[in-house]
Amino acid sequence: MNRSFIVAIAAFGLVVAGCNSQQSSNNGPAAGGSPAGAITNPTDFPLAADAKILAAKPFNQTVTAGGGGGTVLSQGAGTYSGHSVIAQASGSVADAKAWLDKTESAPPAGYTHVASTQNAQAASVAAKYGVTYGVFKNGAKGAVIAVIDTKVAHAKLGFLIGLADKYKMLPQSMRGPIDDQVKQRLGMSITDALDPSAPVGMTLEALRTINSSDQPAIVEVDATKQ
């Protein structure tokens, strides 16, 4: 595990321990859900031919200011609604990345690809954790498609799964200093990492769902500002 990451969240771990919460961690959307073969893609964005959908659920998020320029929240403050889909590919990570590259070159009907140069820093940070992603637009709708090297992501981000729910319980006054310290070392805060519309947040949701599998994951989040 990345030593600097451990140092960066040491204070977070102590705070969480002090909370002495009795709640267990959420095991993700796959727990107790429908069999993977029964789940269909609720979006109009086709996934890779070998992708087996493990979970699909509604996506809803409200932002009060700004909005992620490189995510589905690019239209600023407001409420966004859409879908979140987690799938697993049967081929290699290289195969999944090749599919994403091809999709960026020839997006589905109605979609255009948003060049990664518009969000190069976020793409660089995501790549450190085994995440390659593309951003697409279809009128007022935005979509982020992430290909995840789950072996790398498990090694570098897996420990956050057990801490995420406890972190959300902390008051904002306690989150701020922790976020600032982590962002200085990692280029992203824990709040950023837990954002379900951002590539690293999408990755944590995928890791919850696929558990210990090393097969690549493909995650899509699409949303339209209401």
Q: What torsion, rounded to 10 degrees, do the Cα atoms 167, 169, 172, 173 define? A: -90
Which pLDDT does position 11 carry in this prediction? 41
DSSP conformation class of 142: E
Which pLDDT does position 83 carry in this prediction? 93
Tell which wins on pLDDT, 101 or 225. Answer: 101
Residue 13: pLDDT band with limits 50, 70, 90: very low
Which pLDDT does position 187 carry in this prediction? 66
Q: What is the pLDDT of residues 23-72, one digit of tens each?
A: 333 334 443 444 444 689 999 999 999 999 999 999 988 877 655 545 67
What single letter denotes the amino acid at residue 66?
A: G
Tell which wins on pLDDT, 36 or 127. Answer: 127
* Alpha-carbon gap, residue 3 to 78, rounded angstroms: 38
Q: What is the mean pLDDT of residues 105-132?
A: 85
Tell which wins on pLDDT, 175 or 94. Answer: 94
* Alpha-carbon gap, residue 201 to 146, rounded angstroms: 11
What single letter denotes the amino acid at residue 164?
A: A
Q: What is the mean pLDDT of residues 189-216?
A: 82
Strand partners, 62: 79
Checking if the pLDDT of 149 tops 50, the result is: yes
Helix ranges (H only) for 33-171 are: 93-105, 120-128, 150-169
For the chain, how many helices (H) and strands (E)? 8, 6
β 131-138/141-148 pair status: antiparallel
Give the predicted TM-score (pTM) of the model: 0.75
Q: What is the pLDDT of residues 162-190, one digit of tens each?
A: 666 677 788 878 888 877 877 776 666 77
Which pLDDT does position 28 carry in this prediction? 41
